[in-house]
Amino acid sequence: MKKTELAAIVYERLKKVHPDAHCELNHSNPYELLLATILSAQCTDVRVNMVTPALFKKYPTPQKLARAELEDVEEVIKSINFFRNKSKSLIGCAQMLMNKHQGEIPRSVEALSELPGVGRKTANVVLGNAFNINTGIVVDTHVKRTAHLLGLTKQTDPVKVEIDLMKLFPNEQWTDLSHLLIFLGRRTCIARRPQCDLCNLKDVCAAKDKFLKAPKKVPRDTKLKVVGKASARK
C-alpha cells in the first residue's frame, strides 16, 4: 500500500472514531491559548488546565501580564514543570506583544517564534487552533509515536516527522490530524499498553505484527500431566 493511500485511510477512520478531536488545552481566546501552550512544554494538558484558570483571571490581558512581578507569576504556576523559566517566558512574551504587536497575537510562524517561550510547535498550535491557519503539523510525543507505528514515517526527529506528514496529508487536514493522532495515542494506542484489539487501524498498522502476536498455545496434556504428578504424590 502506498503511503498516500495509508494516510487517507488513517484520517478517514480516525475521524469516524474521534469526530470530536480537539485541542485539550482550555482557552477562550488566542492570548489564553498562547499562554497555555507555553506552559504545556514537558507538562501534561491536565496539569496545565489546573493552573490556567487562576492565571487567566489574574492576568486577563497582555497589558497586565507585561507589568506582572516575576514572583507573583511563579506563585500562580508553581505546580507546573520549570515554572521559574516559564514565568520569565510568560512575562517576556507579554512584553513583546505589547511593544511590537500592540497587544495582538501575531498570525505567522515567524512572528510568533520571536516571542519568548515560543517555538515552531507552539506557533503551529496557536495558528491552527486560534485562527484556523494551517502552517504546519504539531508533532508532540503522541503524534511522533503513532505516526511511526502506523508506518507514516520512519523519522524520529519531530521536524522531520512533520515534513513527512505534511507531504502525505492535504493542508486543510494538518491541524485536525494532530488532534486525531493525539486522541489515538491517549485513548487507544497507549505507549505502555496499546489496546490494539480496540483499534480500527490494526489491519493497516505497520506495527501490528509486533503488538498483535498470537498467544502461545498450551499443550492439551499439560493439565493432565500436572494432575498425574499430584496424584502420584498422594
Task: Evaluate whether 3-19+139-210 and 30-130 have a shared fold.
Answer: no
- Asked whether 23 and 179 are in contact (CB, 8 A), the reply is yes
- Write the class of the CATH domain 30-130: mainly alpha
Per-residue model confidence (pLDDT) at position 211: 77
CA–CA gap between residue 124 and residue 138 (Å, rounded): 6
Catalytic residues: 121, 140
Per-residue model confidence (pLDDT) at position 54: 98
Q: Cα–chain-centroid distance for residue 103?
A: 27
The alpha-helical segments, DSSP class H, found in the chain are 3-17, 30-39, 45-58, 62-66, 70-76, 83-101, 109-113, 120-130, 141-150, 158-168, 174-187, 208-211, 222-233
Per-residue model confidence (pLDDT) at position 202: 94
Domain-wise residue ranges, the chain: 3-19+139-210, 30-130
3-state SS class at 5: helix
CA–CA gap between residue 94 and residue 38 (Å, rounded): 12
Per-residue model confidence (pLDDT) at position 220: 56
The alpha-helical segments, DSSP class H, found in 68-157 are 70-76, 83-101, 109-113, 120-130, 141-150
Contacts of 159 (CB under 8 A, 6+ apart): 120, 139
- Please name the helix (run of DSSP H) or strand (run of DSSP E) that holds residue 48, with its range, or none: helix 45-58
CA–CA gap between residue 205 and residue 118 (Å, rounded): 34
Per-residue model confidence as pLDDT tens digits over 82-134: 999 999 999 999 999 999 999 999 999 999 999 999 999 999 999 999 999 99
Q: Is residue 227 pLDDT above 80, yes or no?
A: no
Q: Extract the C-alpha cell encoding 185.
A: 495515542
Per-residue model confidence as pLDDT tens digits over 16-61: 999 999 999 999 999 999 999 999 999 999 999 999 999 999 999 9
Per-residue model confidence (pLDDT) at position 232: 43
CA–CA gap between residue 144 and residue 162 (Å, rounded): 9
Say which CATH topology domain 3-19+139-210 has: Endonuclease Iii, domain 2 (1.10.1670)
How large a percentage of the chain has pLDDT more than 70?
90
* 35 backbone dihedrals φ, ψ, rounded to 5°: -65, -45
- Asked whether 26 and 128 are in contact (CB, 8 A), the reply is no
Per-residue model confidence (pLDDT) at position 26: 97
Between CA 108 and CA 42, with CA 132 as vertex, the angle to 5 degrees is 70
- In the predicted model, what is the mean pLDDT of the chain? 91
Per-residue model confidence (pLDDT) at position 116: 97
pLDDT band at 210 (very low <50, low <70, confident <90, very high): confident
